[in-house]
Amino acid sequence: MRTQIYSLLLLSYLLTLITACQMPPEKPNSLEEYPVYLNDDLGLTYTPKMSTFKLWSPAVDAVKLRIYKDGLGGEAIQTVDMRYSEKGVWVAKIKEDLTDHYYTYQVKNGDKWLEEKADPYSTICGANGQRTMIYDWAATHPLEWEKDQRPALQQANDIVLYELHIRDFTHHESANTKHKGMYLSFTENGTETQNGIKTGLAHLKELGVTHVHLLPTFDYQSIDETLPPSERPYNWGYDPHLYNVPEGTYSSNPSQGDVRVREFKEMVQSLHRAGIRVVMDVVYNHTGATETSVFNQLVPDYYYRQNAAGGFSNASACGNEIASERAMVRQFIVQSVKHWAAEYHIDGFRFDLMGIHDIETMNAVRAALNEIDPSIFIYGEGWLAGDSPLPEDQRATKNNVPKLNGVAAFSDEIRDAIKGHVFTHDAKGFISGLDNLKESIKFGIVGGVNHPQIDYQKVNYTNEPWAPQPSQCIVYASCHDNHTLWDRLQNSIPDASAAEKVKMQQLALSIVLTSQGVPFLHAGSEFCRTKQGVENSYNSPDSINQIIWNRKEQYQSTFDLVKNMVALRKAHPAFKMTTQKAIAENLIFIETNNSNVVGYQLNGQAAGDEWTNILIYHNGSNQSFKVDLPEGNWDIVVNGDQVRLDGSTKTVSGSVELPMIGTMILKR
């Protein structure tokens, strides 16, 4: 009798335990009280014998896992009630080989079942990211993937960034690629136009850039992947859906989830073999959908910031903003960048609207990537598109860069000083003859660091230096946003001749490539790319966005200048000093008595350069200008679009005539 009683008590105890494990505890009172689960096994853990599924969603009442044969269509072949485990995690295990199958989650919130969604932690998915694919990750590796290595990089100041959109780069027929607008186009070697002008990967190698910055390549929602390539609309991709999955429209078969993964890796592998590192443009600050997003349907409200009225705050101007300061959101972002860096060998991350993120999260990202490879470069837009409930002193904005560990920000000071205010379409800048921009140009030249010869009260957008070191300042004249540099010149100086506009384009890129910060080039700017005057081309057709490679032949002198300036920068450490102290001591501005001429001297010897002294003059006026030279003989290395790196230089002394609208560099 006593044994039976003990058995019943034991059974009751076990049933209580099972019930406790299956049902979530009492719901937290606030989002801040949600339990934190810091293990890295959320999502799918696959083996041929068993698949384990884990979803973190502390406040829902039930979760169903559904297994499908295909990525789209058809009924679920298996439905499993997931059990509550610990710290907000729901778990299901299926002891069979589910490879090539797909799954979704559906949660019950109160008495309502919300929409069925793919796993937020998906790494492979079917078409349009509707279902997560179950697959052996190792089977996605291309041949010799284990031998893939990041190209050598000595220091961040050696970087030359080149921003491109995969579809733009090789879509036009002049690219002469087989895989137009696809990941695999970057695996094609030796492509040329009909006239023998290098395109695609061959162009990148010829140009000499160190890093290719890819506009969003994670799974985004604005393009129907099931449409034939010729029928797909265009989009930049700043509407994230599944952050850890490559976008399917750039793959040869979006419906077969492993294909996009393998082809993405082949692209990275090919670029690495060409000596080029790969940067991902990541958009963790908002999602493309809000109420119906993967995050909000599976973990209601948690991933987004709320405003005072209780609605979704909108510092992204896209309908929502991610609450990076919440523990599990921060954990998601950190694990996501680790996934791309470790599994895809990504070499850098550009954070869209980085000012929406909190400083602690950005520093956590930096620390996590340091454990993989400290040379992985991180930079972002140091601003927001609207106000945010996140306190200003916690935002990863430009003025807070000193609080960021090894994270860089774009300098809009130098951008708008070069060409004019970005949102005033006819505004002139230094290159188009506008006066009183010298201090802002000088700010960019020193890479945003503190320099005793800059009057910061006359710098646009800031009254103090914000970059502790030059590698934390991105120097640029244009990017995918707003008008191309060429189209801006068409708007701001319509009466200037084509030859004058070419000189202005060349001057802008010369300023960028000789500045001490990290230079950034917009794809096609090296041959005067146009988007036919369209400013915000995020969903304009290919006829607007595609790069027309015939322009490279038309503007060969500009391409040659940029190529040679990249080579000059690579060869001479004086143009990429690594510390604020070195720049303050070894870069001396020269008074020119002309508001459109900026001159400075570099102590090359102190920087370890074979050129012991270097003079740089940027003339933004449409007149040539005579300057007196320091004592001695000087060799002219750069004179407008003429760059002499082979030693065939002209020697001058006493004074020299600067080219109108152009750069001159002399060395001794």
Segment 572-577 shows an average pLDDT of 98
Nearest to 469 by CA among 520, 408, 412, 417: 408
Of 158, 281, 381, 641, the catalytic one is 381
CA torsion angle 317 318 319 323 (round to 10):
-80
Q: Report residue 648's pLDDT band, with 50, 70 and 90 as the boundaries.
A: confident
Q: Helices 556-571 and 200-207 sit at what angle, rounded to 10 degrees?
A: 50
Beta bridge partners of 378: 349
| 3-class SS of residue 284 | coil
Give the span between the Cα atoms of 296 and 59, in whole angstroms. 12
Residue-level pLDDT at 381: 98
Indicate if the pLDDT at residue 296 is higher than 70: yes
Residue-level pLDDT at 454: 98
What pLDDT digit, counting tens, does each position of 253-279 carry?
999 999 999 999 999 999 999 999 999
Task: Label the pairing between strands 132-133 and 277-282.
Answer: unpaired
Segment 596-614 shows an average pLDDT of 96
Q: Is 381 annotated in the active site?
A: yes
User: Could you say which DSSP state residue 198 is in?
Assistant: B
Is 663:616 a contact under the CB 8 Å cutoff?
A: yes
Indicate if the pLDDT at residue 356 is higher than 70: yes
Task: Label the pairing between strands 597-603 and 613-619.
Answer: antiparallel
Residue-level pLDDT at 4: 54
What pLDDT digit, counting tens, does each position of 363-412 carry?
999 999 999 999 999 999 999 999 999 999 999 999 999 999 999 999 99
Q: What is the mean pLDDT of the chain?
A: 95
Of 543 and 10, more confident: 543
Indicate if the pLDDT at residue 8 is higher than 60: no
Residue-level pLDDT at 41: 97
Beta bridge partners of 657: 626
Indicate if the pLDDT at residue 359 is higher than 90: yes
Give the span between the Cα atoms of 115 and 105, in whole angstroms. 9
Nearest to 568 by CA among 666, 439, 429, 452: 666
Beta bridge partners of 102: 68, 133
Of 352, 416, 439, 641, the catalytic one is 352
Domains of the chain: 31-140 (2.60.40.10), 157-575 (3.20.20.80), 587-667 (2.60.40.1180)
Residue-level pLDDT at 646: 82
Residue-level pLDDT at 217: 98
Indicate if the pLDDT at residue 18 is higher than 50: no
| b/e per residue 515-554 (b: at least 16 CB within 10 A) | bbbbbbbbbbbbbbbbbeebbebbebebeebbbbbbbbee
Q: Report residue 29's pLDDT band, with 50, 70 and 90 as the boundaries.
A: confident
Element (DSSP H or E) covering residue 414? helix 412-419
Residue-level pLDDT at 114: 98
* CB neighbour list of residue 162: distance below 8 Å, 6 or more residues apart: 204, 207, 209, 211, 212, 213, 521, 523
Nearest to 637 by CA among 627, 625, 624, 647: 647
Six-digit token string for 100: 């090539």
Q: Name the residue type at position 504.
A: M
H/E/C letters for each residue in 343-366?
HCCCCEEEECCHHHCEHHHHHHHH
Give the span between the Cα atoms of 222 and 227, in whole angstroms. 12
Segment 335-339 shows an average pLDDT of 98
What are the backbone dihedrals phi and psi of residue 528, each rounded to the nearest 5 degrees, phi first?
60, 50
Indicate if the pLDDT at residue 15 is higher than 60: no
Q: Name the residue type at position 594.
A: N
% pLDDT > 90, the chain: 94
What pLDDT digit, counting tens, does each position of 429-445 carry?
999 999 999 999 999 99
* Residue located via tokens 């200048």: 561
Indicate if the pLDDT at residue 17 is higher than 70: no
Residue-level pLDDT at 22: 57
Segment 503-531 shows an average pLDDT of 98
Residue 586, Cβ density class (10 Å: 0-12 exposed, 13-18 middle, ≥19 buried): middle
What pLDDT digit, counting tens, does each position of 300-329 carry?
999 999 999 999 999 999 999 999 999 999
Q: Report residue 593's pLDDT band, with 50, 70 and 90 as the boundaries.
A: confident
Is 483:412 a contact under the CB 8 Å cutoff?
A: no
The 10 Å Cβ neighbour count of residue 503 is 24
* Residue located via tokens 């299901």: 92
Indicate if the pLDDT at residue 585 is higher than 90: yes
Residue-level pLDDT at 353: 98
Maximal C-alpha separation, the chain: 114
Indicate if the pLDDT at residue 665 is higher than 90: yes
Is 98:134 a contact under the CB 8 Å cutoff?
A: yes
* Residue located via tokens 């508001």: 595
